[in-house]
Structure 1
Amino acid sequence: MKRRWSLRRRIVGAYVLLALFLGTCFSAIALEALEIIEDKFMYQRLQDAADKLIEDHLKGREHAIPGYPVVLEGAQLAPVFRNLAPGVHEVRVGGRDVHVLIRDREGHRFAVLDDQSQFELIENHVSIALALAFLLCLTLAALSGLSTASRVIAPVTRLANAVERESLRADSPLLAADDEVGLLARAFFEHEQRLKLFLEREQLFTGDVSHELRTPLMVMLGAAEVLEARLASQPELLEIAERIRRTAAETSARVAALLLLARAPDQMDAPLTDVAQIVQAEAERCRPLLSGKPVTLAVSGEHAGVLVRARPELVATAVGNLIRNACQFTERGDVRVQVHPSALVVEDTGPGLPREIATRIFERHEHGPVGSIQGTGLGLAIVRRVAEHLGWTVELLSSAEGGSRFVLHLPVANA
């Protein structure tokens, strides 16, 4: 991506370009004026006076006036003049600039010399003065641009700092400004107020949902525990009651995890959590999903003791969704969960994912391929959200056996 200039550099550049354009125009006009003066007043004057000067020379009348044109003919002509074509020429002779008019008359060559050293000196001085003035204009333009940029950018900088520090309050003088900065400040302030209102509603909604869900879940959990106690003598029903109790407990934990996701990471405690223990617990919880299918669930590295600084509920949510998806979508073969020192790998021999879906599988409501087991499309989106919340990364890699291979990269913490 092409890097754009900052606002300060653009303002300074505009000043310098304007000075460059104007200085070039004025310099060109001044130099052209000098050329016109030299052509009209020097060359034309010499041509107009040439005939009279030659006539006076032939009559023996010489004008011994300093700086007045001199007429030479025949042997008086220096070699440098003899090869010149008729007309006006500018020749440097003896370190001096001379305008020479060559005129052939009745078989004789005449040269009318006009010393223009003073004019050439003035012309050089004018050129040097123009160059110095040009550089001075560019310097002044750059300094003026910097000064103007500082004055223009200062309010924008104050506005940016206020937005960054979240100190753009209703009584801020920036909001009262009647220029573009004030318009921008008011737009930022209104947008910030809408965001605050939205976040407040989201927090209230999350808290209310969490509270409203926890109450019936606790009732279900208590009822399942009572049911378990009364069905101790009926193993076939006891297993169902145990599943109800376990599901209610897990749902309560998930609700708590989702509530944690609504909080900022810097506002949460991060205890040391053993990933291997959570992997083992989540694998056991997902085993019933494989009932009746020729699929084996294997966990390796469960005793590695990999520790991370994160809330156990969030770790369980990410790990559980990955293992549950693998178990749901795999109809035969195996599901392998590997705990490495810095990563968790969940690999299966399921149908895999087409390339067009794999690129957006972590987006909300993105489902697997047509014909596979359909879910809500939220599982992997929640995994990515948990990973981003904890500063982890999750990626989908191709598997050699045609299934899916998810890798959850973990920043391992020291004990």
Structure 2
Amino acid sequence: MRDDGGEVRRARSTAAPTTLRTRVAAAFLLLTLLVCGAFAVAAVRIASSIEDRLIDQRLSRTADELVARERQGLPPDLPPSVTLYRGAEIPASLRGQPAGKYTLPQDGVEVNVLVRDDLGAPFVLTDRDEDFAKIEAGVYGLLGLAFVCCLGLALLLAQLTASRIVAPVTALARAVETGAAPREYPLQESTDELGVLSRAFAAKTEAQQRYLDRERWFTGDVSHELRTPLAVMLGAAEVLKARLHGRDDMVELAERIRRTAADTSERVVAMLLLSRDPASIGAPPTAVLPLLRQEMDRCRPLLRGKDVEMTLHADPDAAALEVPARPELAAIAVGNLIRNACQFTEQGRVDIRLEAGRVVIEDTGIGIPPAVRDRIFDRFMQVDPAGAGSAGLGLAIVKRVAEHLDWTVSLEAPARGGTRFVLSFAPAPAPTAPPPRDPGDSPHSS
């Protein structure tokens, strides 16, 4: 099924980004276009108004002089562009017009016409306005040239201004993007708005770095300091178990102490790994199916006294699945999800399914209210109103481990009730093709 919305989003994400320099240049050009366009419109209207007034005044003045000379018995003295028509000489297209000024077609050309009847009989003066048309064409040509020059000047100024204004912003953005040290941010000595922005970025980055360092150091220090007492507890539990040989009830208790100390030691190691950069701890291939069986065994005591059956199903093509991850971290993610299902299921089933590329853990427990589903992976978020036996950190830790390993964890609500968590592993990297063999090389060449 086609997803038009998804295609639109992908198209937008692949489109070339609009830089600040481009936006500044576009603003300059747009402003120039608007200003020049306004001046051009005004110039055209002014030129048209001047043309009308000059022609009208010239025709009126010529007609007045013609009437005066006619009354004095003198021959008419007309400008070269003005033509006089009387009586039968008046062209058919100009006949029958009342006295006044007009712009009418004559021989396919628009001419200015003045009709007068001062001499008893109507007469017509026409002005082809060729000289003014040449002047007008020259003016419009100069306006066009000025318009192009203004655009070129605006583009030049836009580039210069963008380089002067945008270059510092670009340098600051590059420093932030490349993870430069806050003290290396540019413009910190500047007194303008860019200096304020640079100093704010530097202060914020330093504060975040100090916070992250404190969290990393705290996690690492606590994990490191706990390893020694846990090792002592584990050794003491093993010695106690050996000395209680023959007392089955006490041996079982000692075994529980030993197992709990061992599990806690593994969790401490995992938290220590979680505080480090993923690229620095390595990711050996870890078999998922044995890991699921191990975490199920650890969680079975939570089901004692409950009418709950926990089962494991593995697809044939996923039984040998291995993921690149430290087993301590993978055990935290899987174990917390299984423990969560066992803890909140009083009767029914807990089903763990290993499928291609993911683990599905589904239960028939109390489920998760819709109001908190969007925040279920937040720290200290508790589904049980009383918070019995839960600090609200298990799922938050799962989320953190998943992000650390480049996995994804999601929550689904089965139709029959309960919860379903899906832990999807990162896709395996594509195999790298071997370099092409030189045709001249031989398998047996040294």
* Aligned counterparts, 1:170-249, within 5 A: 170=183, 174-249=187-262
Q: Deviations over 1:68-121 (max 9, x none)?
A: 644322111011111434211223434665321112347622112234111022
The counterpart of 1:404, out of the listed 413, 419, 427, is 419
Q: CA deviation at 1:346?
A: 0.6
Partner of 1:312: 327
1:404 counterpart letter in structure 2: T
2:67 touches 2:118 (CA, 8 Å); kept in 1? no
Relative to the length of structure 2, the TM-score reads: 0.85
Q: CA deviation at 1:291?
A: 0.4
CA distance, structure 2, for counterparts of residue 182 and residue 370 of structure 1: 50
2:234 touches 2:261 (CA, 8 Å); kept in 1? yes
1:100 counterpart letter in structure 2: V
1:325 counterpart letter in structure 2: N
CA distance, structure 2, for counterparts of residue 384 and residue 410 of structure 1: 13
The counterpart of 1:28, out of the listed 13, 19, 41, is 41
Deviates most, 129-138 or 307-316 = 129-138
Deviates most, 74-83 or 92-101 = 92-101
Q: CA deviation at 1:20?
A: 1.7
Hey, which bits of structure 1, 4+ residues long, moved more than 6 A? 1-4
Partner of 1:89: 102
CA distance, structure 2, for counterparts of residue 329 and residue 197 of structure 1: 38
Partner of 2:360: 345
Structure 1 unmatched runs, 5+: none
Q: Deviations over 1:337-377 (max 9, x none)?
A: 11122110111111211222222211111111547855111
CA distance, structure 1, for counterparts of residue 130 and residue 109 of structure 2: 6
2:81 touches 2:129 (CA, 8 Å); kept in 1? no
Q: CA deviation at 1:326?
A: 0.6
* Aligned counterparts, 1:14-413, within 5 A: 14-57=27-70, 60-64=73-77, 66-67=79-80, 69-94=82-107, 98-105=111-118, 108-168=121-181, 170=183, 174-301=187-314, 304-370=319-385, 373=388, 375-411=390-426, 413=428
Q: Cα–Cα, structure 1 residues 328 and 118, in superposed 2: closer, same or farther, change >3 Å?
A: same
2:220 touches 2:275 (CA, 8 Å); kept in 1? no
Deviates most, 44-53 or 305-314 = 44-53
2:426 counterpart letter in structure 1: P
Q: Deviations over 1:221-279 (max 9, x none)?
A: 12211211122211112111111111111111111111211111112210010111110
CA distance, structure 2, for counterparts of residue 150 and residue 341 of structure 1: 53
3-state SS of 1:111 partner? strand
1:349 counterpart letter in structure 2: T
3-state SS of 1:362 partner? coil
Q: Cα–Cα, structure 1 residues 369 and 204, in superposed 2: closer, same or farther, change >3 Å?
A: closer
1:136 counterpart letter in structure 2: C
1:393 counterpart letter in structure 2: T
In the alignment of these two chains, the number of paired residues is 415
Q: Cα–Cα, structure 1 residues 167 and 27, in superposed 2: closer, same or farther, change >3 Å?
A: same
3-state SS of 2:417 partner? coil
Partner of 2:438: none
Q: Deviations over 1:146-195 (max 9, x none)?
A: 33213322222222222233334636664334443333332222222223
Q: CA deviation at 1:220?
A: 1.7
CA distance, structure 2, for counterparts of residue 329 and residue 258 of structure 1: 25
Deviates most, 221-230 or 126-135 = 126-135
2:310 touches 2:351 (CA, 8 Å); kept in 1? yes
- Percent identity, aligned pairs only, is 46
1:97 touches 1:117 (CA, 8 Å); kept in 2? no
1:368 touches 1:374 (CA, 8 Å); kept in 2? no
CA distance, structure 2, for counterparts of residue 374 and residue 205 of structure 1: 25
CA distance, structure 2, for counterparts of residue 12 and residue 180 of structure 1: 21
CA distance, structure 1, for counterparts of residue 427 and residue 64 of structure 2: 104
What is the RMSD computed on CA atoms of the aligned residues?
2.7
Structure 2 unmatched runs, 5+: 1-8, 432-446
Q: Cα–Cα, structure 1 residues 125 and 96, in superposed 2: closer, same or farther, change >3 Å?
A: farther
1:29 counterpart letter in structure 2: A
Q: Cα–Cα, structure 1 residues 225 and 334, in superposed 2: closer, same or farther, change >3 Å?
A: same
CA distance, structure 1, for counterparts of residue 163 and residue 421 of structure 2: 52
Q: CA deviation at 1:122?
A: 1.4
